[in-house]
Chains A and B, each alone.
Chain A
Amino acid sequence: MTNNSNYLVEMRGIVKRFPTVVALNNVDFRVRQGEIHALLGENGAGKTTLMRILYGMYKPDAGEIIVEGRRVIIGSPRDALKMGIGMVHQHFMLVDKLTVLENIALFVEEGFRIGFDRIRSRVEELSKTYGLKIDLDAKIWQLSAGEQQKVEIVKTLYRNVKLLILDEPTSVLTPVESEELFKSLRKMVETGKSIILITHRLNEALMASDSITVLRKGRVVAAEVKPREASRLDLVNMIVGRPLEFRPSVDSFKKNGKPVLEVENLRVLDDRGLVAVKDVSFILREGEILGVAGVAGNGQRELVEALTGLRKVEKGIVKIMGVNITNASPKNIIRLGVAHIPEDRFRYGVAPDLSVAENMVMKLYGEKFSRKIFIDSEAIRKETEKLVQEFEIVTPSVNAPVSLLSGGNIQKLIVARELSINPKILIASNPTSGLDVASTNYVHWVFHRLREAGGSVLLVSEDLDEVLALSNRILVMKEGKIVREFGEGASISEVGLAMTVGAA
């Protein structure tokens, strides 16, 4: 066995199959000691799957893993941690009601009694060394996403990991917080640790990493590319495999169109009874795409739910085409021509036990697909097949239960459904989350087409690139208020800064 001593971890010939798809097809992946390695690819390429195998959460169907020159079998995260491999997931695994200290203790303590003092001093040490400031006595639910992420990182560092895997860490961070994160990662690397950064963002990979490996549809298309050597265009082509068709442009925008959605002094509470939307007012005009930028958790979800009849409006007025729809039922709002792509696709978007076709007609079954009290299954089937083809939704058949579809395909179904009602107003929350670059591009094109036809879009998205590319105007939402408005030509740093105004 050759001793590749400068490679900390090697994965060779990894194959992983799931019932409907081959997620990883003969993948080779290597990380050196003391480097930040970006694992780049679009959603669904297999990045998270590969890392979960490394972290012991999945078992590969074929292939081997070599850590520090020795062949190993990683049966569980416990094994992985013993070998010095740690992972910070996209969805945090923290207990909301406990404090930061308690959460860390939960993760690191092996014995019967918990040495809180010992843990406290060690955590403070780690905090200082790597520049990760956290308040040990705060409860998790009080922390922002960025702060929670820091807790997750410290949790992992506590276990003396040699390799730290981060899954899409910047998806919950403001641009400023991302900068801080990368600084901390550099400090870790300086002490000899290795970092694997899972990301779909090209800029990040180019700016923050020492080495890039690109995955596409379960295969490696480029390995250990050095950022300085690769051109941006080459990388994009590698990720996508084909050139993008649509380049959004924000011209052909008629200013001062008729207002179609008017929001005045809106006040909405969140699930805990705290004020989520403080005093929001804005106007959406005909033929415009209005973007709402902001880090998740600043009231966007509650705002959208209030506008679509899913949440109570405490104070304020909402008018659509001049009709007062404050606290109207979803049915009446839908009747006015409003479509809604929800942020939480599983909570609101689909009925899991029903088929793809039945889910596709959830909004229109009354008008278009029924005669008297009976449902026209044939018409539903035809329409669904048309939409499945148009949006390239991967499903065994239109009658398959929708729960079999991957998250990305469910999202495509929801987008297809909402757009198929030819809405006058589309309220879209993170519409392209979980979608690959080609699908994202297609959705953006459809939004554009909707706008050209005189419709309007309220685009609430955590993806700054998306908001900037599509919107005619941008509102920045922070802590339940609109803190700034930008017209055309805003730059990412201006908007990013506005998102952090007032941050500690």
Chain B
Amino acid sequence: MEIRLERRPTVSRRINISVRILAILFSLPFIGLLFAAYGVNPVDAYLRIFTGGFGSLYGFSETIVKTLPIGLCAVGLTFAYKARVLNIGAEGQLIMGSIAATWVALYSGLPQSVITIIMLLAGFTIGALWALLPAVLKSELNINEVIVTLMMNYISLKLLDYAVTGPWRGLTQWGFPQTDPFPSYARFPVIGGTRIQYYTLALLLVSTLILYVLMKRTKIGYEIRIVGSNPEAAKYAGISVNRNILLVMLVSGGLAGIAGVGEAAGIHGRLIRGISPGYGYTAIIPAWLGGLDPLGTIVASFFISGLMVGSDAIQVSLRLPSSLVYVFNGVILLFIVSSEVLARYRILFKIGGRKIWI
């Protein structure tokens, strides 16, 4: 018998999607082994995760709550990754956005009527600026953005820590590492009975749509795709690679910043240590899982969020460690990335005289 890898003659959407779904399905038995090691029945665990995330109205709404920050970050990251700018700093950009929103809400002294819009603008701007530094370092000095954005996440965490334990520590909070609550006019309204914020939801949908149209139908999207596919060819064609690097970083940083505003103003109503349970990192998965397409990314973000909510549920009901969720995500990402090969190549089995392709 002979086994060989062969290039696929055509690349279709159907193949792309089925490969990714298969990747996830194949990852489940491996994670199941983990559950078994904890003495938990894997099938039982999976069922609980699924019902936890999607099975009840409460679970479903919580899934959407998580889809908002993850989706905002992920859609922005899709834009950056398409240009092959590996922004790993969504987490830090999100945190900086929440810090910016906090300042506007608590210390800016701006009139009530404009607070919301200023918070959003500030969040976007600060998130974008936080991404600007690694962008400039990459375009001017060819410094790897993966390392810079990652390191800046830690810087933002320290800034957050400093703010909530130092100058911004809540006067009414008995020493807990958090600020005073935002005034009610600075808080984002939610859909009744849930924690789903109107503004963030709207912004997520609008930005997804805009980025989708931008990437597929405009000159900017076209340039970005060429930069991502072959930066040397982009240069040769007269496209400014640097300008596009800056653009995608600013946009992805800004969107992550807005996610941060939502977390501060919509979910917690204050700035706290741990304002993000790693949303910025988690968002990397749906960006790739969605095939670097904003619409696919939204679907994938929804899926990942459901997974997170379900995992939270079993942490309590089955008493599993919280880090299990991160292992979960890591294994799934591993499977997805390695399955990329199968979207472009197929496996040829030659048995006897016959050929079978997968």
Instruction: Report A's interface with B, CB cutoff 8 A.
Output: 19-20, 308, 310, 329-335, 340, 342, 347-354, 358, 362-363, 365-366, 370, 373-375, 377, 396, 400-401, 404
Contact = CB atoms under 8 A, between A and B. Distances in A.
B229 A352 contact: yes
B324 interface: no
Interface string B4-34: 0011111100000000000000000000000
Interface in B181-239: 217-220, 222, 225-226, 228-230, 232-239
B236 A375 contact: no
Contacts of A330: 235-238
Interface of B: 6-11, 217-220, 222, 225-226, 228-230, 232-240
B225 A353 contact: yes
A310 B231 CA distance: 12
Given A365-B222, A375-B219, A19 B237 contact: no
Contact of B217 (A329, A340, A351, A374): A374
Contacts of B228: 353
A334 B226 contact: no
Contacts of A340: 236
Q: Which 5 A-B pairs have the closest CB atoms?
A: A331-B238, A351-B229, A353-B229, A19-B9, A348-B236
A373 B221 CA distance: 10
Contacts of B220: 373
Contacts, number: 78
Nearest to B238: A331
A348 B7 contact: no
B222 A375 contact: yes
B226 A362 contact: yes
B10 to A, nearest CB: 7
A329 B225 contact: no
A310 B225 contact: no
Contacts of B237: 330, 334, 362-363
A211 B19 CA distance: 51
Contacts of B234: 351
B236 A352 contact: no
Contacts of A350: 230, 233
Counting chain B CB atoms within 10 Å of each CB, the highest count among A332, A370, A375 belongs to A375
A334 B238 contact: yes
B229 A373 contact: no
Given A373-B218, A375-B217, A349 B9 contact: no
Contacts of B240: 329, 331
A335 B237 CA distance: 11
Contacts of A366: 219
Contacts of A332: 238
15 contacts: A19-B9, A334-B237, A335-B238, A342-B236, A348-B233, A349-B236, A351-B226, A351-B230, A353-B229, A362-B233, A370-B219, A373-B218, A373-B220, A374-B218, A404-B7
Given A353-B228, A400-B10, A373 B219 contact: yes
A354 B6 contact: no
B248 to A, nearest CB: 16
A308 B236 contact: yes
Contact of A347 (B9, B217, B226, B232): B232
Nearest to A329: B238
Counting chain B CB atoms within 10 Å of each CB, the highest count among A350, A362, A370 belongs to A362
Nearest to A308: B236
Given A19-B9, A363-B238, A401-B11, A351 B233 contact: yes
Nearest to A402: B229
A8 B228 CA distance: 51
A393 B50 CA distance: 51
B236 A20 contact: no
A332 B235 CA distance: 12
Nearest to B292: A353
Contacts of B222: 358, 365, 375
A367 to B, nearest CB: 11
A348 B234 CA distance: 8
Given A366-B219, A400-B10, A354 B238 contact: no
A61 B118 CA distance: 68
A366 B240 CA distance: 13
Nearest to B82: A353
B268 to A, nearest CB: 38
A169 B296 CA distance: 50
Contacts of B236: 308, 310, 330, 340, 342, 348-349
Counting chain A CB atoms within 10 Å of each CB, the highest count among B217, B220, B232, B238 belongs to B238
B218 A354 contact: no
A358 B228 CA distance: 14
A375 B217 CA distance: 6
Counting chain B CB atoms within 10 Å of each CB, the highest count among A333, A335, A404 belongs to A404
Nearest to B223: A365
A273 to B, nearest CB: 16
Contacts of A348: 232-233, 235-236
B137 to A, nearest CB: 21
Contacts of A362: 226, 233, 237
